[in-house]
Structure 1
Amino acid sequence: MRNSLFTIALLFLALVSKGQESDSAKNTTKKFAIYPALAYSPESKLNIGAIAFIVLDRPTSQSGYYRPTSITPYLVFTTNKQILFKSEFDFYTKRGINIGLISRLYKYPDSYYGIGNDTSPDSTERYDNNYLQLEGRVLKPHNANLFYGLVYDIQFNDIMPIEGGMLDADDPNGVHGGRNIGIGPAASYDSRNSTLYPTEGKYITASINLYSKAIGSQFNYVKYSFDFRHYFELLGPKNILAYQFKADLSSGTDIPFYKLNFMGGDNRLRGFDHQNLYRDRQSMYFQVEARQELFWRFGGVIFAGVGEVFDTFSNFNTDNVRFVYGLGGRFQAIKDKKLNIRADLGFSDNGQYGVYLSVREAF
């Protein structure tokens, strides 16, 4: 985000801190590293926390591809009495069943810009948005590459809009938060040679998530997601080109504003002022990234992407497509595993920029 020193300071400490690694003697090999985090940002003041990386290698009987279990928890406390916790779990059982889970616990200020593809970064409102989310999947292998199963999303939001502010005036659906519970079918095709740092292969996944009051949700709507990724060597084994096309679509009018689809953030089109800047019922984007190993455990990337949010397909207009580009650095958190800490600097077509720090590759 603009003017955020947090991401830069966190990356610096991660690079200079010493990680801890350990191996087990049996069939499962364990790798572990932890890095402290200390930073400052105007919004949250002093930040203190840590990032951990855990990788478990276990042979799977139904897969000829490298699919380790990985866990990356991240926890930060601030002197503004804010909490940010995020953890990504990507489990593979001995039989190849994939259990994915992203958990988020935010007690953090958020930003509202309005809805649509033409909102302005200069017209915004800060508001309190405390929420808990558990989002994941359970997929069973049909063969070495094809998986099928379920996706789910459980999210609780407590929002306090400012009286007389933008949220109060617009009064969008879900203005005070609420409970979103969704579940639905999913299928994926995965021929990547690694889930941590793929250098060849494809990843294709499609899912339908049904949010319904019949299963405890306060809102009724449906979300559809399609994700296509391709990885291959460009100039040699140390230079990889990756590209992604993703469509997040929705049907129904009972969608809370904070669950509308978006195209910004640390994994999507990096370069917008805030991931909430462009939100609407539909979102489509394409991004490409060239990844280069440099020296020791360092690497670098350059990336670009285009995308748009819109209400219905009749509103989609190529003249409104947004464009981003940027570059970033990578640091291999665990010596023998390609699980990276990444810092990216992205720029957008309308003069915005964003600084991002995260773990794993963007896609």
Structure 2
Amino acid sequence: MRITLCVLLAGLSACTSMVPRKDIPYPLSNRESGDPVKVVSIPLPIIASSPNEGVTSGALTAFLIHDKQDEINTLLAPQVNYNPNFGTTATLYGAFYPTPELFWEFNLSKSTKVNDDVEVRFRDTTFFNNKLELNGFAFYSTDGSARFFGFQSSSPKEGETNYADQEFGFNVSAGYKIGKFYQLVFGERLKGVNVMRGAIPSLPFIRDRYTPNDVPGIDGFTAHAQRLAFVYSTLNSPHMPTFGGYAKVSVENSLKVLGSTADYRHYEVETKGFVPLDDARYVTAFRLAYNQTLGSSVPFLERSILGGETTLRGYGRNRFIDNSYFLLNLEERIRLFRWEVFGVTADWEMAPFVDLGSVMKSLAEFKSGSFEFNPGLGVRAVVRPNLIGRVDVGWGNDGPAVFVGLGYPF
């Protein structure tokens, strides 16, 4: 009865309930849950803006379900928002952490105009005495705000076009630990892409300006690729690292004989590091990455891409596309204070950052003058050990960009 009352009043005020465990089915509760289960509901406004989507406003209620240690191991967040381009959107998001070794999440979303999204993701490291890690991601989505400006780092703002990027498929991987710090990863990826008219009427449709000969893949494509990666990691947490280093070398191969639209290969090298000071009140975080795509008639969305909330935060998603990219991210994560709100303890962080990156045909055509320099500032609420809410504001040559989301950018 109390949880029902919380649902009815969530739009007006937050409340904390102690609910019998039998009344909360799996996976909302699990063997790590107490009895009764502590449930905190927090209503929040939604005000977000990004270069591609524009301004979005609405409201959500976050239901935070705690375990025996009074840590959050389940998040359920229904929300409703409005965007002039997509109309009204209803979304249900869930994240579940039954144990430190197991994680899965889902997102269900439907807009009155163009957009929709169905995603399920999991990570499980419980096999073979925690030596085998399995990851899976299945998805079906349509994004009516997608943009294409042309290839190369010099692609002008005036070349901007819009389309609806409809994608469906899966991505699975298995990683086996070798010793304490090394991991060998095998992966399989299948993705189908349809390119349709988008939701931004003020911009030209991509196929009205470009042809399939100019831009392979704009009439749709299929990618079926196999991946091999070697990983080194001394990070103290897979989700919220404050100390350690990470390095990955990977190669991915796409073949027509296995169903892909074109033959091509991806090569990637990535390093990350986290250096704490003053008992991790200050954490210097950096990432350095190089990506290269080799092949002929490679679909435009399968090439090396920069732009968006995890790469160049001064631009919208997929702003720069070419055969290669070079990327450097540097930020200082500063814990300002620790605050308990509605029985939930959160670390509030400020994160000044700099993103530096460029796309190019190959590393041999590296030109320092082609690099984008994106300074910015982030604000994060960190609820350990699992949840991070963040707002990042970056500045690029196209103007400021604002991103709101979950998780660290890297």
Q: TM-score, normalised by structure 1?
A: 0.86
Name whichever of 81-90 and 263-272 sits farther off.
81-90
- Residue 164 (structure 1) shift: 6.2
Q: Secondary structure at the match of 1:319?
A: helix
| Contact preservation (8 Å) 1:211, 1:220 | yes
- Corresponding position: 1:38 with 2:38: no
Q: Secondary structure at the match of 1:214?
A: helix
Query: For residues 312 and 81 of structure 1, do their structure 2 counterparts lie closer, same or farther at Cα, with a shift above 3 Å needed?
Result: closer
| Contact preservation (8 Å) 1:271, 1:352 | yes
- Corresponding position: 1:140 with 2:173: no
Name whichever of 29-38 and 46-55 sits farther off.
29-38
Alignment partner, residue 322 of structure 1 = 372
- Corresponding position: 1:292 with 2:334: yes
Alignment partner, residue 202 of structure 1 = 245
Q: Secondary structure at the match of 2:65?
A: coil
Encode CA deviations 1:304-332: one digit per residue, 9 max, x unaligned: 11111001223220111111111122223
Aligned residue identity for 2:261: Q
- Residue 45 (structure 1) shift: 1.9
Query: For residues 277 and 130 of structure 1, do their structure 2 counterparts lie closer, same or farther at Cα, with a shift above 3 Å needed?
Result: same
Alignment partner, residue 75 of structure 1 = 108
Percent identical residues: 17
Name whichever of 49-58 and 180-189 sits farther off.
49-58
- Corresponding position: 1:276 with 2:318: yes
Query: For residues 187 and 228 of structure 1, do their structure 2 counterparts lie closer, same or farther at Cα, with a shift above 3 Å needed?
Result: same
- Corresponding position: 1:84 with 2:120: no
Aligned residue identity for 2:378: G
Aligned residue identity for 1:341: G
| Contact preservation (8 Å) 2:262, 2:296 | no
Q: Secondary structure at the match of 1:51?
A: strand
Query: For residues 345 and 50 of structure 1, do their structure 2 counterparts lie closer, same or farther at Cα, with a shift above 3 Å needed?
Result: farther
Encode CA deviations 1:5-55: one digit per residue, 9 max, x unaligned: 23xx47xx45xx342314379xxx981011222222232122221322211
Alignment partner, residue 402 of structure 2 = 355
- Residue 343 (structure 1) shift: 1.9
Name whichever of 68-77 and 146-155 sits farther off.
68-77
Identify the match of residue 113 of structure 1 among 139, 143, 149. Answer: 149
Distance in 1, matches of 2:351 and 2:102, equals: 25
Unaligned runs of 5+ in 1: 59-67
Alignment partner, residue 23 of structure 1 = 67
Distance in 2, matches of 1:292 and 1:163, equals: 42
Alignment partner, residue 310 of structure 2 = 267
- Corresponding position: 1:101 with 2:144: no
Q: Show the 5 A alignment for 1:132-281.
A: 132-160=168-196, 162=205, 165-168=208-211, 171-272=214-315, 274-281=316-323
Alignment partner, residue 165 of structure 2 = 129
- Residue 208 (structure 1) shift: 0.6
Distance in 1, matches of 2:207 and 2:116, equals: 27
Aligned residue identity for 2:228: P
Query: For residues 338 and 163 of structure 1, do their structure 2 counterparts lie closer, same or farther at Cα, with a shift above 3 Å needed?
Result: closer
Alignment partner, residue 92 of structure 2 = 50
Name whichever of 110-119 and 291-300 sits farther off.
291-300
Distance in 2, matches of 1:213 and 1:160, equals: 24
Cα RMSD after superposing both structures: 2.4
Q: Secondary structure at the match of 2:113?
A: coil
| Contact preservation (8 Å) 2:286, 2:330 | yes
| Contact preservation (8 Å) 2:157, 2:398 | no
Encode CA deviations 1:82-107: one digit per residue, 9 max, x unaligned: 20234443321243212223443222
Distance in 1, matches of 2:359 and 2:229, equals: 23
Q: Secondary structure at the match of 2:364?
A: helix
Distance in 2, matches of 1:316 and 1:163, equals: 28
Q: TM-score, normalised by structure 2?
A: 0.77
Query: For residues 300 and 30 of structure 1, do their structure 2 counterparts lie closer, same or farther at Cα, with a shift above 3 Å needed?
Result: closer
Name whichever of 237-246 and 87-96 sits farther off.
87-96
Distance in 1, matches of 2:74 and 2:303, equals: 36
| Contact preservation (8 Å) 2:162, 2:206 | no
Where relative contact order (Cα < 8 A, 6+ residues apart) is larger, the structure is 1
Alignment partner, residue 65 of structure 1 = none
| Contact preservation (8 Å) 1:139, 1:187 | no
Aligned residue identity for 1:154: L
| Contact preservation (8 Å) 2:92, 2:109 | yes
Unaligned runs of 5+ in 2: 1-49, 198-204, 340-345
